[in-house]
A = this chain, B = another copy of it.
Amino acid sequence: MDSVYQHVLAWRQALEEAGISLSVWRIHRRVGMSGGLFLNALLRETRNRVDPGEALRLQHLHEEAYARLAGQVRPLPGARELLAHLSGAGVPWAIATSGRLASAAPTLEALGVGPKTPVVTRDQVRHAKPDPDLFLAAAGRLGVPIDEAIVVGDSVWDLLAARRARALGVGLLSGGYGQDELERAGAYRVYEDPADLLRHLDEVGVRIADPKRVGRERRRARSGRRAEDAGAAPPK
């Protein structure tokens, strides 16, 4: 989703309401971290101190401010098409977000993500990004070894978490980071947005399985025989 800048200004509004003045670019550079780490990092940098109660209040203020801006948020170009293409080709995929399930629901609907898709949210893991928990949990839900999985993200925190998880990280410019920042954080390749990634899927090692073969294997699996790992996309 194209939601980074709305999150940035929502955090800015929340901090202002609490009397904390922070440059907007500093907030931008932290979005995508877990909310707790985010506040700790920002406030330490600016030598503000907040107690846990105040931190919770800031997170609520952010949620309220974001809800006011959420009507502006759109899927990124190619996001729905990329997911539909992977599904059609038998490549298993999941959604992993540092947001809470409640705030993720409208996003999932906008992306055309159905109820069968594994979705891992902040509620289900101990630590959010840049810890690897979200991506490890997502690979677990897919039944795919994490070191054969690809993590697509548009913040340096996504890519750092992907490295800690031992997955292959692929960066998108849609988060407003430069290509170099994403590469230094570990991106194997950087694309503009999901549409650009879809045009270059072969570069990241996504081997599109023969859809007929995938169908046969799925039927075989359902009928009790063991399916081959048809959809996993080992980056070789």
Answer whether A28 and B5 are a contact pair too, CB < 8 Å, given A23-B77, A176-B176, A181-B180. Answer: yes
Judge if A70 is at the interface, Cβ distance under 8 Å: no
Residues of B within 8 A of A76 (CB): 23
In the complex the two chains form, is B5's CB within 8 Å of A175's CB?
A: no
Is B173's CB under 8 angstroms from A25's CB? yes
B28 close to A176 (CB less than 8 A): yes
Chain B nearest Cβ from A106, distance in angstroms = 17
Give the contact stretch, choosing among A9-17, A97-105, A137-145, A200-208. A9-17
Q: Which residues of B contact A181 (CB under 8 A)?
A: 178, 180
| Whole-angstrom CA separation of A77 from B181 in the bound complex | 24
Given contact pairs A28-B176, A180-B180, A181-B178, A5 touches B4 in the complex (Cβ within 8 A): no
- A218 to chain B: closest CB distance in Å? 35
Q: Does A72 contact B (CB under 8 A)?
A: yes
Q: Which of B5, B16, B74, B180 contacts A9 (CB 8 A)?
A: B5
Q: Is there a chain B Cβ closer than 8 Å to A8's Cβ?
A: yes
Q: Tell me if A121 is interfacial: C-beta within 8 Å of chain B.
A: no
Residues of the B chain whose Cβ atoms lie less than 8 Å from the Cβ of A4: 24-25
Which one of A5, A28, A76 has the highest number of Cβ atoms from chain B below 10 Å of its Cβ?
A5
A211 CB to nearest chain B CB (Å): 30
Q: Which residues of A contact B (CB under 8 A)?
A: 2, 4-6, 8-9, 12-13, 16, 21, 23-25, 28, 72, 74, 76-77, 173-178, 180-181, 193
What are 15 A-B contacts defined by CB distance under 8 Å?
Answer: A2-B25, A4-B24, A4-B25, A5-B5, A5-B9, A5-B25, A9-B9, A13-B72, A16-B72, A23-B76, A24-B176, A177-B178, A178-B178, A178-B180, A180-B181
Further 16 A-B residue pairs, CB within 8 A, beyond A5-B25, A9-B72, A25-B175: A2-B23, A2-B25, A4-B25, A5-B8, A5-B12, A5-B28, A6-B9, A9-B9, A23-B76, A23-B77, A25-B176, A28-B176, A178-B178, A178-B180, A178-B181, A180-B180
